[in-house]
Chain A
Amino acid sequence: MSNKVAIIASNGGVFDAYKVFNIATAAAATEKEVAIFFTFEGLNLIHKQAMHAVPLPEGKEHFAEGFAKANVPSIPQLVEMAQELGVKFIGCQMTMDVMGLTKDDFIDGIEVGGAVTFLEFAKDASPTLTF
């Protein structure tokens, strides 16, 4: 059985963030080796400023109340927890170039790499998930 879980985060909304980080932290807590490849809008989720203001999808703003009521941890909290549990964050170099961003725009402890960096990790991972 594979002990790796590979996740691609390619969207930057609140719903996407919770899908990505809940699965990642739960997998890491279950002693899986986890890597998340952040690409395109997914980079929002680990951007130093943007991660504090991740938007709800248009027309779904009313869910904010539900998130507060369910006592769901904040996105920065989930990010910190994921890193503490050893989840590897890989930022997509190509997207960063397109958006004019550098490694310094992101939280500490991330790796920057291309598609092959992720593929190398994901080749024997099960499951591989895309959000």
Chain B
Amino acid sequence: MSLKADVQLDAKGLACPMPIVKTKKAMDDLIDGQILEVVATDKGSKADLAAWADSVGHQFIGTIEEEDILKHYIRKCSNEIIEEQPFEHTISISELQTLKSGVLLDVREEVEYAFGHIEGAKSIPLGELEDRLNELDKEQEIYIVCRTGKRSDLAASKLAANGFTKVFNVVPGMTSWKGNLSKNI
């Protein structure tokens, strides 16, 4: 299987350190938030790419192994801090399990959702939200989650600007989720 990525890098047949070097070069051309799929055959690339992403500050999402092929997914992150006023209505991720009604909206990329999400969460990546507002019900409470609370903050403001009133940003985000994860891989 293959998951949705913005850019694909073919590193098949390459030995260390080439998968890392090629990934670094490919990553330089991505914009923040985009996802790179690295297709490799070097078995060492699994540990190497995760360590590399961690070291330079990108998000290593996961690896799919199919026979001799490894598909790695990495999301580009920069350290820019959003200076805008944060969305005022928030709820702590630890309170999610106590809620009785409403919809949980996961605005991370499809790949991130596939590698682990909260059971029952609806997936609409932030970039698609504008075009998919009709899938959401204004009468329901909408709890928006992402990885660290940044993208969900933008999504909450976007929904509020479109007339949604029962919107909450789940803070901080999936990085602090202690419950079970459902996977689509």
Could you give, for residues 1-42 of chain A, a 1 whenever the CB lies within 8 Å of some chain B CB and a 0 otherwise?
A: 000000000000000000000100110011100000000000
Interface size on B, residues (CB 8 A): 14
- Identify the closest chain A residue to B16 (Cβ): A22
**B23 partner residues in chain A, CB cutoff 8 A:** 29
Interface size on A, residues (CB 8 A): 12
Q: A85 contacts the other chain (Cβ, under 8 Å)?
A: yes
Kindly name the residue among B13, B17, B18 whose own CB sees the greatest number of chain A CB atoms within 10 A. B17
B18-A73 in contact (CB<8A): yes
B17-A29 in contact (CB<8A): yes
Could you give, for residues 1-30 of chain B, a 1 whenever the CB lies within 8 Å of some chain A CB and a 0 otherwise?
A: 000000000000111111011011000000
**A30 partner residues in chain B, CB cutoff 8 A:** 20, 24, 52, 55-56
- Identify the closest chain B residue to A25 (Cβ): B17
Interface of A is mostly: loop
The docked-state distance in angstroms from the alpha carbon of A81 to that of B18 is: 10
Query: Measured between C-beta atoms, what is the minimum distance from A71 to chain B in Å?
Result: 5
- Identify the closest chain A residue to B57 (Cβ): A31
The docked-state distance in angstroms from the alpha carbon of A85 to that of B25 is: 9
A71-B15 in contact (CB<8A): yes
B52-A29 in contact (CB<8A): yes
Could you give, for residues 65-81 of chain A, a 1 whenever the CB lies within 8 Å of some chain B CB and a 0 otherwise?
A: 00000111100000001
Could you give, for residues 42-84 of chain A, a 1 whenever the CB lies within 8 Å of some chain B CB and a 0 otherwise?
A: 0000000000000000000000000000111100000001000
Query: Measured between C-beta atoms, what is the minimum distance from A74 to chain B in Å?
Result: 12
**B48 partner residues in chain A, CB cutoff 8 A:** 26
A71-B13 in contact (CB<8A): yes
The docked-state distance in angstroms from the alpha carbon of A43 to that of B16 is: 23
- Identify the closest chain A residue to B24 (Cβ): A29
5 shortest interchain CB distances as A-B pairs = A29-B24, A26-B17, A29-B21, A72-B15, A29-B20
14 pairs, CB–CB < 8 Å, chain A vs chain B: A22-B16, A25-B20, A25-B21, A26-B21, A26-B48, A29-B21, A29-B52, A30-B24, A30-B56, A70-B15, A71-B13, A71-B14, A71-B15, A81-B21
